[in-house]
Chains A and B, each alone.
Chain A
Amino acid sequence: MNGRRFVTQPVLALLIAAATLSCATPPAVQPTLMLEQHSLRIPLTLEADGTVLLAERPPLIGRLDLSPILRAEGVNPGVPPNGKVQLMMHYGRLYVVGDSFHALWEITPQPGSTTASFRPIPVVRESGPGAMKDVRLSRYGSSQSSCLRLDWAGGKPVFITPKGDIRDDCP
């Protein structure tokens, strides 16, 4: 009697599991399409309040408040060293850098809002005189997986992968 019971229980469990799986609604799979979203290098002028106007370089329009980034870099928003930053769109994210910065900043737009999250990607670890100079953003790599390339005077170029990782080469 006990042996029969031991056989029946797993079978019953399997039947219940099969029934549950068959009744469950399959998760909705969002259709996708190809989207290449990049830009060339966009030099922008910093306003006194730390914002940049994207309309300075048509066809982009809009405004980007960089004052939190400037504060974090120790750059006074009202008086930038040369008043210029470089912006580049790479796989849907924006990257910003400027002379005297210590990091490349990644800005991730939040769709449907006028806000974006941001994070530094440290490039120069020392402070003060170690800040970058003559910075330049470019795109580099293969068409399947291109990188954002950051050059600056006297430093080795660094590469940002599509996932936002920093590397010494473009995979």
Chain B
Amino acid sequence: MTVRRAAVFLVAAALHIPLVIGAPKVEADPHELYDRAREFLADGELRAAATSLTRLKTLIAERPDWDPEGVFANELLPPLSDRLVRLQGAARRLDEFTVRSLEDLQPPDIKKDISTVRDYTEWATSVIERLRGERQEIIVSSLSNPEEQAFLTHTESYVRTERLLEIEVLKKMADTAGDDILGLLGGDPELESVLVRFRQLKRELMKNVADRDQLESDVKASRAQSDAVLRILAAVVTDDAPLEAGGRKSATVAALFPLFLDGRLTEMRGRTSLTPAEVEMLRADLDRYARYNRVLKGAGIGPDQGPRIEALAKAVNDLPVEAGVLHTFSAGGPACLLLIVALTLATGLTTWLAIARGRRLASLHHSAPGRVPRIAAEVHGTDADRRAV
């Protein structure tokens, strides 16, 4: 019986383990899925937006209780779905445009049309201008809403067209036409200088492309490093306190520092008094926060948090300080304690001397009860000395 009970207990405990380890997050509701879909659309992440919309549709179809009046199903979802469809259509057309343009991108026949490198440059320029115009035409004809046009520029499809216009056209020219023109100009002494110049231009072009790729890579690395530094900085200025801030984007020091100060202020306002040691420590903290604020503000990393720090200083100053004797003396340090010991010893010694002297006087008084006070006896002694002289 005991074994069975223990087994039941173990099973029950095992079943409750997940609940104890961490409270489950609240299941996404239609509003959250709707907000996510909108954010993804604005960021040009069409696949993620489609996923969120599908989840939203499934949720309200399977559990209509989440959408009592059909607000999402009838009013909010259709326009968002339409917008997604329009953006997907435009993105598809841009992709087709990119593929078609790359296929059609044939440098002109050198033997017939091209005689100098300048002609090549003009060809490339005209091709890029033409392709830009075609792309703009596709965007405008697919999307009439300027906001949606802006969303489209964040999509992968648009980025591919940018690469086509900025890199692929020139690369194609360099790759294919370069060899042809070398063959055409080879052995012609009059065009030798043009050939040299063209080779130079080709090298510069390839170097520019390589430099551009390297710069992009460097920018990414620099951004990652900057983010890491900011995270470290945030941990420093907030004493590594666990704070919650930001949504999908990572929280920055500019967001965390005021949160941290607010937390400290809440903590201070919750206190009823402070010990002198705490006051000293808090004042040091306040000086530190003020320095952090100056540095962050000076570097343009975050807005001025001066008012928050002043509010915190006021909260600290407004709190009564516990005035215990021990606290006061312990705050004074070892020198103060030594002084107390010396004073105590001096007081004891003085008291002992006074008592001893009192006892001696009392004993004298008892031995000569009829005499006038001792002062009179001393007068007599003086007279005797005078007579001796």
- Hey, which bits of chain A sit against chain B, CB under 8 A? 36, 38, 40-41, 76, 78-83, 134, 136, 138-143, 146, 151-154, 170
Binds A, one of B22-30, B187-195, B353-361: B22-30
| Size bin of chain B's contact surface | 20 to 34
Q: Report chain A residues within 8 Å CB of B27.
A: 151
Report yes or no: A139 in contact with B25, Cβ–Cβ below 8 A: no
The contact of B26 among A141, A143, A146, A153, by CB within 8 Å, is A153
Report yes or no: B266 in contact with A81, Cβ–Cβ below 8 A: yes
CA distance A64 to B26 in the complex (A): 28
CA distance A138 to B269 in the complex (A): 33
CA distance A146 to B66 in the complex (A): 10
Q: Report chain A residues within 8 Å CB of B269.
A: 76, 79
Given known A76-B269, A153-B25, contact A82–B244 (CB-CB < 8 A)? yes
Query: Min CB distance, B46 to chain A, in Å?
Result: 24
Query: Min CB distance, A91 to chain B, in Å?
Result: 11
The contact of B69 among A80, A146, A151, A152, by CB within 8 Å, is A146
| B71 in the interface (beta carbon within 8 A) | yes
| B262 in the interface (beta carbon within 8 A) | yes
Mostly helix, strand, loop or mixed at chain B's interface?
helix
Report yes or no: A79 in contact with B266, Cβ–Cβ below 8 A: yes
| B68 in the interface (beta carbon within 8 A) | yes
Given known A76-B269, A78-B311, A82-B244, contact A136–B69 (CB-CB < 8 A)? no
| B303 in the interface (beta carbon within 8 A) | no
Query: Min CB distance, A83 to chain B, in Å?
Result: 8
CA distance A16 to B187 in the complex (A): 132
Q: Report chain A residues within 8 Å CB of B26.
A: 134, 136, 151-153
Query: Min CB distance, A102 to chain B, in Å?
Result: 16
Query: Min CB distance, B306 to chain A, in Å?
Result: 15
Query: Min CB distance, B289 to chain A, in Å?
Result: 15
Per the 8 Å Cβ criterion, residues 48-74 of B in contact with A are 65-71
Per the 8 Å Cβ criterion, residues 1-54 of B in contact with A are 23-27, 29-32
Contact pattern, B 255-271, Cβ under 8 Å of A = 1, otherwise 0: 00001001101100100
The 8 closest A-B pairs by CB, nearest first: A154-B23, A146-B68, A151-B26, A138-B29, A79-B262, A79-B266, A153-B23, A79-B265
Q: Report chain B residues within 8 Å CB of A41.
A: 31
16 examples of A-B residue contacts, CB within 8 angstroms: A38-B69, A40-B31, A76-B266, A79-B266, A80-B262, A83-B262, A136-B26, A140-B66, A140-B68, A142-B68, A151-B26, A151-B27, A152-B26, A153-B23, A153-B25, A170-B65
Return the chain B residue nearest A41 by Cβ. Answer: B31
Report yes or no: A136 in contact with B29, Cβ–Cβ below 8 A: yes
- Beyond the given pairs A38-B69, A78-B311, A153-B25, 15 more chain A to chain B contacts, judged by CB atoms under 8 angstroms and listed by A's residue number, are A36-B69, A78-B265, A79-B262, A79-B266, A79-B269, A83-B262, A138-B30, A139-B68, A139-B71, A140-B65, A142-B65, A143-B68, A146-B69, A153-B26, A154-B24
Per the 8 Å Cβ criterion, residues 248-295 of B in contact with A are 259, 262-263, 265-266, 269
